[in-house]
């Protein structure tokens, strides 16, 4: 059987001629095979989620005569980051690789622009979450597409019973089952949360939000800083550390830390899950994975766990967002096939299959796709994760944005915001010293 390469000309020619329906299949299949594609996807936590992605890719491969090879790369021990770094150095490896949040921007120069994939999709499905666009675009060009698998937000997951009994807050009256938030949700602010946290601590069931150096901690703290208006670095790269907003968020954190367990500074991404599942904690901020494990390990607790929006601050309500991105290396030998596959995977019906396979864990970055049935179906309790995807009243926010990527990635990996809180609260350092330390760190991150 003869083999014909999947050329750029072939990809462009067919996309131009095709209608909106052909976006997922932007070239005309011939009887010739079209080479191979090596894919490196994130290894999903949710059992079975990888299988759906494999099937989607293989079905596409069969149809388009492309030989598809898939590796699922775990983020345990940062193996995915090591793979990206190694492939970038070796300039060989997979064609498409899943990049965690900042990585696509870090390797932007080595990635293939994907405007011809994203622009038609945006025309078809509308706006992509601002935070995802921020991470996928470099120099005005799309250098990655927002992945479905692994993309998540980390809103509060709280115990309905404990909040009602000890804090006097009826979560369902703010966030009713499978319905849009009510007017009462306007009162769900950071101030309301800290007052509730103090009451819950007195009752022996404190809320537990990690202030360590892993993503769960950094993401919610990043969203909190932004909703206080405390962006440490602006989009142009200028540091804004010694501002009233930063001082306010640190003072607020002091009250919050006092109402939480003393070990939150050592929490990793598993600690908050264990804390909720044990029945001890009244609230954490996490994707529904903690709830899913509670359903298996402690169903009584799970039956009271309800996921809903983040508290509101003076600048708005922001959901801690942690996306994965799919990017195509510039050294790929089969770019057109890669682009075609990415467009295929981001078709609404395929996105829905992937979200269903993750039992609602994955969040589509296209805002028009946040109405899938799966978020209504997960229970008990009824509507347990209906309010998990941000839908207009809350915006997905990437911690450390809007700083330029090179600075933001350092801010994120060095977890500067959680360290500021730790220094000010646990370390007992004066405000000026903490702000001075942060300013000096940020100066270091600006190195080019």
Partner 1 sequence: MRRGGLRRLARRKSTVAFLLTLPLIVLIAALVIYPAFYSIYLSMLNKTLERLVGLDNFRFLFTRDTFWMVVKQSCIFAITAVLFKALIGFCVAHFVHNVPAKGQRKWRGMLLIPWVIPPAMSTLGWFWLFDPSYSAFNWLFVRIGLPAVTWLGDPLWARFSVILVNVWYGAPFFLIMYLAALKSVPEQLYEAAAIDGANWWQKIWYVTLPMMRNIIAITVLFSLIVTFANFDIVRILTAGGPIDQTHVFATWAFLQGIEGGDLALGASVSLFMFPILAVAAIFILRDINRRGNEAS
Residue ranges binding partner 1 (CB under 8 A): 78, 81-82, 85, 89, 102-103, 106-107, 109, 212-214, 261-268, 271, 274-275, 278, 280, 406, 409-410, 413-414, 419, 422-423, 426-427, 437, 440-441, 444, 447-448
Cα of first residue to Cα of last residue in the chain, in angstroms, is 50
Distance of alpha carbon 49 from alpha carbon 287, whole angstroms: 15
Residue closer to partner 1, measured from CB, 296 or 447: 447
Continuous H helices in 1-96: 8-17, 49-64, 79-90
Least Cβ distance, residue 405 to partner 1 (angstroms)? 9
Nearer CB in complex with partner 1: 223/405: 405
Nearer to partner 1, 395 or 441 (CB): 441
Closer to partner 1 by CB, 8 or 109: give it.
Answer: 109
The alpha carbons of the chain give a radius of gyration, in whole angstroms, of 22
Which residue in the block uniquely carries the two structure tokens 């804090």?
Answer: 167
Query: Which CB sits closer to partner 1, 14 or 110?
Result: 110
The pair of structure tokens assigned to 375 is: 């978020």
Q: How far is the CB of 271 from partner 1 (least distance, A)?
A: 6
Backbone angles phi, psi at 441, to 5 degrees: -60, -45
Q: Work out how close the CB of 324 gets to partner 1 at its nearest, in angstroms, rounded to a whole number.
A: 16
CB burial of residue 23 (10 Å; 0-12, 13-18, 19+): buried
| Distance separating alpha carbons of residues 323 and 320, to the nearest angstrom | 10
Nearest approach, Cβ of 88 to partner 1 (angstroms)? 9
Phi, psi of 244 (to 5 degrees): -60, -40
Q: CB of 31 within 8 A of CB of 63? A: no
Smallest separation, CB 212 to partner 1 (Å): 6
Closest separation between CB of residue 6 and partner 1, Å?
A: 30
Contact between 358 and 44 (Cβ < 8 Å): yes
Residue 89: CB minimum distance to partner 1, A: 8
Of the pair 262, 299, the CB lying nearest partner 1 is at 262
H-run or E-run covering 141: strand 141-142
- When the beta carbons of 53 and 232 are compared against partner 1, the nearer one is 232
């Amino acid at each position: 059987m003869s083999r014909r390469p999947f050329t750029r000309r072939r990809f462009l020619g067919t996309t131009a001629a095709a209608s909106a329906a052909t976006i997922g299949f932007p070239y005309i299949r011939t009887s010739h095979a079209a080479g191979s594609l090596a894919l490196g996807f994130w290894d999903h936590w949710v059992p079975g989620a990888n299988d759906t992605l494999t099937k989607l890719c293989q079905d596409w491969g069969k149809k388009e005569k492309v030989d598809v090879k898939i590796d699922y790369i775990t983020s345990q021990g940062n193996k995915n980051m090591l793979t990206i770094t190694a492939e970038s150095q070796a300039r060989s490896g997979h064609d498409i690789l899943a990049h965690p949040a900042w990585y696509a921007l870090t390797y932007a120069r080595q990635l293939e622009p994907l405007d011809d994939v994203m622009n038609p999709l945006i025309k078809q499905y509308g706006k992509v979450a601002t935070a995802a666009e921020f991470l996928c675009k470099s120099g005005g060009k799309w250098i990655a597409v927002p992945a479905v698998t692994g993309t998540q937000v980390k809103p509060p997951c709280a115990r309905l019973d404990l909040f009602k009994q000890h804090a006097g807050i009826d979560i369902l009256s703010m966030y009713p089952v499978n319905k849009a938030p009510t007017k009462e949700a306007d009162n769900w602010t950071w101030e309301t949360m800290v007052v509730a946290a103090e009451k819950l601590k007195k009752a022996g069931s404190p809320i537990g939000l990690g202030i360590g150096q892993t993503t769960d901690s950094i993401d919610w703290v990043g969203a909190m800083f932004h909703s206080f208006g405390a962006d440490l670095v602006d989009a142009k790269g200028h540091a804004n550390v010694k501002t009233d907003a930063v001082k306010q968020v640190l003072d607020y954190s002091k009250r919050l830390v006092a109402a939480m367990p003393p070990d939150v500074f050592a929490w990793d991404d598993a600690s908050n899950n264990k804390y909720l599942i044990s029945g001890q904690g009244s609230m954490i901020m996490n994707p529904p994975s903690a709830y899913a494990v509670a359903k298996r390990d402690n169903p009584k607790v799970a039956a009271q766990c309800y996921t809903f929006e983040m508290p509101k601050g003076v600048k708005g309500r922001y959901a801690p967002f942690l996306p994965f991105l799919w990017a195509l290396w510039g050294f790929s030998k089969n770019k057109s096939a890669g682009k075609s596959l990415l467009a295929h995977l981001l078709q609404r019906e395929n996105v829905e299959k992937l979200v269903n396979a993750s039992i609602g864990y994955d969040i589509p970055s296209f805002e028009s796709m946040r109405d899938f049935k799966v978020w209504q179906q997960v229970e008990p309790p009824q509507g347990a994760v209906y309010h998990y995807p941000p839908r207009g009243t809350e915006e997905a926010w990437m911690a450390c944005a809007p700083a330029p990527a090179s600075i933001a990635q350092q801010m994120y990996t060095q977890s500067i915001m959680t360290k500021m809180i730790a220094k000010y609260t646990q370390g007992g350092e004066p405000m000026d010293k903490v702000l001075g330390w942060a300013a000096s760190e940020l100066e270091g991150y600006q190195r080019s």
